[in-house]
Structure 1
């Protein structure tokens, strides 16, 4: 359907608060994305068609299409925020509907203008798009893909099966990675945008829906093509450019996927806090117990840390595209992992109600817990993304040593009130040759923070934590320098170094966002909590002397004080 007067998403006029209001309170059975309706569809393993139609009516498909191709997507941080608002209500809906964005990304990167405009019109009209990468026997090993496309006079003949594909059956179009050279190799694969309306119905078939533990209603299925003719106009980009285009596209989609985790964390914290505020134990409500307060305070610190990584990475698509191979891998590894831990902590507070399907908001928590498990696998698992980081170790060391940080690009990414330039997706590269500026210029950021502390505009505790982070970041780069070059036989120790590097990026991002948050009146409590959170994972042994910051953070949030980072404006 085309944009209507109810659309919240128009070029230059994205209204996230209105979108949030129109989606309503999920606790209200009458709201478009209610817990009650989500539970009903989950039990029936039925796709949420009515919910997706409502998102279409509100104009969300426009956010999957860049403005230059007829949509409303001008800022990737706004896309993350919009998907987060859906995911905090129902993760299955966010995954099923948002998959269309993933299906279109390769065309935005490499398609010709006519192809991109036509796809943009289809998406804005509400037609789903699938992304056909994986196959039954190969998983994430894209170079092993066996679906072939033999060139003919009028196009290609495609044969083979793509499997475990979201929207494979529902999708009107599917962007397929196909082998166009028998020997394969990095230049042996291409991309075809297959339009089911324009290929013979007897030459393709939908594979059965795969029953899943989570996202039960999603269309996780597949498509088989039997010597299927696909016209030459379906080619996306250059012949043989499929693998490179996919790897660049993943830098965008991995960043966008963090929205799913952030929404899941919002929902988990809401459910846990609501339950703890009403449940009585030992003569008082659960939320007044010290352990519960600290657990919820730490969970909020983890969420703040995760959303800062997510938003800075989304803005970096506009300001630091040459570093996105690192930043997208960090975001996709760090954010879902943090949220898994948040969900686990909230589940412990809910107790038995975390497992029941018919209690406390229609069993929303057990559905959420099941649904979120798949997010860490989307577009490269945590293991795959940490392997990307490991392959960058030497570039990270060189950049840290030589100081090649793009200060203007970092400032533009971290200043969340600043306008963003248009995203230059053509500048995405497979290797961040100069490393990551956020960690390179951490010392300079800490000096600025110390100066503010000396002037009474930051607390000494925060300055000391920031100094500790800079010291540990320097030591970590020394360890990275000793790590052997990456190969398919990476040692387990390298993954621990990658995990520590994620923590450094998270802490550095938080410091930079705080430094650029001008005149907000928020103070530095959220920054202190984020730094304590990341430093605990970097210290040789867990130190708990500063964990009281989580108590103070929870008390401030409970009192309604403006202590959340600016990343939450418009989406809380």
Structure 2
């Protein structure tokens, strides 16, 4: 058992925190107010190899273990989870699916430009009636000669409006249930494809969209993996996304703690800094204690994943606890800052908005509680 970070992990931690401070924070307010994506951040992260941290080197990534990758995602999220999701989230979800399921030819086609920041690839699974229950997906694909004909719609898709390619989880034969599901790549310029921006409470410097597919014809060779493995292949990406989101929750919480310590020392009331008030110290002490404990839960889940060991309940616990931590700590930080905390002059309010989304993406808190319960009790409460 080793609770010390390696020299390489410390190097990445410090380098990425410096990047977050120098390249993300100074312009974040402007991009959030304009609701625009900062493509310069994507390019700069790509130049450092940080977009594809966990992607194998042969496909343009750094080939890092999941613990080191989680440290990178945590430090980027310290500045902005939205910009981190927009910049590297595509490699986390779509990149993992391609690495695990695509043919070597498809990997060579998609992964290197993805890691270089030259291509954006979204993953589309959620539908109006299919969220936690992915088996309820209605978007269909029918093979017509050498082409798949796709019809349906997807909701709340990260990168959906800016993606060059969308990996679509769909149904080829409803009668077969999960065995009829597949993942098919759809280019943005495909006839019949449409996207419509969705404005969320958070993600103001990101991109979330609803997608439509109306008789979209794509080559038969755009199938990623095999028919019947679509759900399993998608879950491989979602598993990595859960780690990404958990690390992001710790990063957001740490940022709020850092801002609260600074503000509490500078803000004076009744002739002294509010840091001298007992209740303020209790709030900050509780933030620190919870962040420290949950960070190690995230790293533990990442280490198990890196070693190829079972990690389902550990990762569900990390995702659940870290995202709820981000909501709780950011809310406390806003209150500690008073009315100032409700403005974008301080970093806590954007973390408060983004943290709400993190509890839903990658599986809701309630779903993760049920996943843990199912593993411990061997009883599925979801059916």
Query: What TM-score results when the alignment is normalised by the length of structure 1?
Result: 0.62
Matched-pair contact (CA < 8 Å) for 1:173–1:195: yes
**In structure 2, distance between residues paired with 1:154 and 1:24:** 46
Matched-pair contact (CA < 8 Å) for 1:251–1:324: no
Pair 1:24–1:328, CA change in 2 (3 A):
closer
> What SS does the corresponding residue of 2:203 show, helix, strand or coil?
coil
* Counterpart selection for 1:282 from 266, 270, 283: 270
CA RMSD of aligned residues (A): 2.2
* Counterpart selection for 1:377 from 357, 360, 373: 360
Match of 1:23 in 2: 19
**In structure 1, distance between residues paired with 2:240 and 2:83:** 20
Which structure 2 residues correspond to residues 299-448 of structure 1 after superposition, within 5 A? 299-321=287-309, 323-357=310-344, 362-395=345-378
Q: Summarize deviations over 1:415-453 as a string: whole Å, max 9, x none.
A: xxxxxxxxxxxxxxxxxxxxxxxxxxxxxxxxxxxxxxx
> What SS does the corresponding residue of 2:163 show, helix, strand or coil?
coil
Match of 2:4 in 1: none
- How far did residue 354 of structure 1 move? 1.6
- How far did residue 17 of structure 1 move? 4.8
* Aligned: 1:115 with 2:101: no
**In structure 2, distance between residues paired with 1:326 and 1:112:** 30
* Counterpart selection for 1:161 from 153, 159, 162: 153
Pair 1:204–1:354, CA change in 2 (3 A):
same
> What SS does the corresponding residue of 1:221 show, helix, strand or coil?
strand
Structure 2 unaligned blocks of 5 or more: 1-7
- How far did residue 105 of structure 1 move? 1.6
Q: Summarize deviations over 1:288-320 as a string: whole Å, max 9, x none.
A: 222222221111110011110111111111225
Matched-pair contact (CA < 8 Å) for 2:256–2:333: yes
Match of 1:84 in 2: 74
- How far did residue 249 of structure 1 move? 3.1
Match of 1:33 in 2: 24
Match of 2:137 in 1: 145
Structure 1 unaligned blocks of 5 or more: 1-11, 26-30, 396-484, 490-572
**In structure 2, distance between residues paired with 1:209 and 1:329:** 30
Match of 1:296 in 2: 284
> What SS does the corresponding residue of 1:374 show, helix, strand or coil?
helix
Pair 1:174–1:64, CA change in 2 (3 A):
farther
> What SS does the corresponding residue of 2:265 show, helix, strand or coil?
helix
Match of 2:3 in 1: none
> What SS does the corresponding residue of 1:122 show, helix, strand or coil?
helix
- How far did residue 80 of structure 1 move? 1.0
> What SS does the corresponding residue of 1:202 show, helix, strand or coil?
coil
* Aligned: 1:179 with 2:171: yes
**In structure 1, distance between residues paired with 2:293 and 2:112:** 37
Matched-pair contact (CA < 8 Å) for 2:20–2:79: no
* Aligned: 1:209 with 2:197: yes
**In structure 1, distance between residues paired with 2:185 and 2:295:** 33
- How far did residue 18 of structure 1 move? 5.9
* Counterpart selection for 1:46 from 26, 36, 47: 36
> What SS does the corresponding residue of 1:106 show, helix, strand or coil?
helix
Q: Which has the higher contact order (CA 8 A, sep 6+)?
A: 2
Which structure 2 residues correspond to residues 482-501 of structure 1 after superposition, within 5 A? 485-488=379-382
**In structure 1, distance between residues paired with 2:130 and 2:225:** 24
Pair 1:39–1:382, CA change in 2 (3 A):
same
**In structure 1, distance between residues paired with 2:311 and 2:149:** 35
Aligned length: 374
More strand by share: 2
> What SS does the corresponding residue of 2:131 show, helix, strand or coil?
coil
> What SS does the corresponding residue of 1:192 show, helix, strand or coil?
strand
Q: Summarize deviations over 1:35-66 as a string: whole Å, max 9, x none.
A: x5212221222222233333233332231522
- How far did residue 137 of structure 1 move? 3.2
Query: What TM-score results when the alignment is normalised by the length of structure 2?
Result: 0.91
**In structure 1, distance between residues paired with 2:223 and 2:167:** 9
> What SS does the corresponding residue of 2:213 show, helix, strand or coil?
strand
- How far did residue 145 of structure 1 move? 1.1
* Aligned: 1:254 with 2:242: yes
- How far did residue 22 of structure 1 move? 4.7
Pair 1:14–1:302, CA change in 2 (3 A):
closer
- How far did residue 232 of structure 1 move? 2.3
* Counterpart selection for 2:51 from 61, 66, 71: 61
**In structure 2, distance between residues paired with 1:221 and 1:173:** 14
